[in-house]
Amino acid sequence: MKKRKIVLVTGMSGAGKTSAMAVLEDMGYHCIDRFPSFLIDNLVNEIHSGKTVGFDNVALSVTAKDFDIFYQTFKNMDAEVIVLFLDASKEQLLLRYKYNRRNHPLVVAGLANGLEEAIDAEIKEFSAIKSSATIIIDTTFLTAQNLTSRIQRFFSIEGKRTLTLSFISFGYRKGLPRDADLVFDVRFLNNPYWEESLRAQTGNDPAVYSYVINDEKTQEFLKHIESFLDYAFEKYVEESKHLLTIAIGCTGGQHRSVSVVNWLYDHYRKDYTAFKDHRDVVEVKHD
């Protein structure tokens, strides 16, 4: 019998929990926001009874204060419990609140004197929860469409729960992807930027891809990284990890990192559920 799936949606205020819950609801999850923790036994009994239609897949938006009671209770059920943590940089959260002219929940509750103090308090409050999260999505650089796409990938009800690989190319000029589990620097590879005919193209173009991937130095690198990733993926599967984000970086995120991510994606998608994102290709013109 297929296990029930329970998703605990938590994370920083302003990082996209409401949007995530809306996507999950559209996907067929029974979504519950701000369910009172003192009624959790009633909810568990309802889920166990099987009388309520749609309770096979449940998503709950949970605060830091109530997280432990929900997590421990559901872990003792015969269900697959997934913790989705939504995060964003402090700078981005400040911008979102100022742009939307909303009050932070901790300010409204009188637990913080201002927006920055409230965000700092939440960062501290969520530190332990974040470290134990099943899936972390950093929305700092994500559009609403990007967030929707990622949630649909990771939480498909029909999809089998195996290790999902997310390959991301990026440019060091714009900083590391904050949600990366593994980061590899490929700035030592020969750079197509210095070939005038390739400069305006990206690793998505056959000429650039061929230049990068067929180079002897890249071939040696791919041999070593494939050996490491094969071992790492096997161990992550043993630890029941749901999502692994592998980031490949070059100077601007246009040529080398894009080519390598495309190679890795094509190589591993035969055996794993795999996705790829090229974070900086649109915005960056030079590598």
Q: Which segments of the chain does DSSP mark as H helices, in order? A: 17-26, 40-49, 64-75, 90-100, 105-108, 115-131, 144-154, 206-213, 216-238, 256-268
Residue 2: is its pLDDT beyond 50? yes
**Percentage of the residues of the chain whose pLDDT score is greater than 70:** 93
- pLDDT value, residue 159: 45
pLDDT digits (tens, 9 = 90+) for 193-211: 999 999 999 999 999 999 9
Domain 4-154 belongs to what architecture?
3-Layer(aba) Sandwich (3.40)
Decide: helix, strand or coil at residue 100: helix
pLDDT digits (tens, 9 = 90+) for 135-178: 999 999 888 888 888 888 788 755 443 578 999 999 999 999 98
* Amino acid identity, position 141: F
What one-character DSSP code corresponds to residue 215? S
The C-alpha atoms of residue 200 and residue 219 are separated, in whole angstroms, by: 24
Closest CA to 185 of 233, 277, 245, 256: 256
Q: Rounded mean pLDDT of 87-98?
A: 92
What one-character DSSP code corresponds to residue 239? T
pLDDT digits (tens, 9 = 90+) for 217-239: 999 999 999 999 999 998 887 77
DSSP sequence for 103-120: PPHHHHTTS-SSHHHHHH
**Percentage of the residues of the chain whose pLDDT score is greater than 90:** 56
The C-alpha atoms of residue 133 and residue 8 are separated, in whole angstroms, by: 9
Query: Could you give phi then psi for residue 244, rounded to 5 degrees?
Result: -130, 125
What one-character DSSP code corresponds to residue 54? T
- pLDDT value, residue 283: 43
Q: Global pTM? A: 0.60
The C-alpha atoms of residue 218 and residue 223 are separated, in whole angstroms, by: 9
- pLDDT value, residue 157: 59
Mean pLDDT of the chain: 88
Decide: helix, strand or coil at residue 82: strand
| Sheet with 164-171: strands ordered across | 182-185, 243-250, 164-171, 273-278
Decide: helix, strand or coil at residue 48: helix
Residue 68: is its pLDDT beyond 70? yes
- pLDDT value, residue 52: 63
Longest CA–CA span in the chain (Å) reads 67
The DSSP bridge partners found for residue 164 are: 243, 273
Half-sphere exposure of 171 (CA within 13 A, CB side): 18
Q: Rounded mean pLDDT of 58-78?
A: 90
Decide: helix, strand or coil at residue 86: strand
The C-alpha atoms of residue 114 and residue 58 are separated, in whole angstroms, by: 34
- pLDDT value, residue 158: 56
- pLDDT value, residue 196: 92
Least confident among 96-105, 235-244, 248-257, 261-270: 235-244
| Residues in CB range of 2: below 8 A, 6 or more apart | 56
**Kind of pairing between the strands at 79-87 and 4-11:** parallel
- Going from N- to C-terminal start, the domains of the chain cover 4-154, 164-278
The Cα-based distances of 41 to 38, 44, 85 in angstroms read: 8, 5, 24
pLDDT digits (tens, 9 = 90+) for 175-189: 999 889 999 999 999
- pLDDT value, residue 285: 46
- Whether residue 17 contacts residue 61, with contact meaning beta carbons closer than 8 Å, is answered with yes
- Whether residue 234 contacts residue 127, with contact meaning beta carbons closer than 8 Å, is answered with no
- pLDDT value, residue 276: 92
- pLDDT value, residue 270: 84
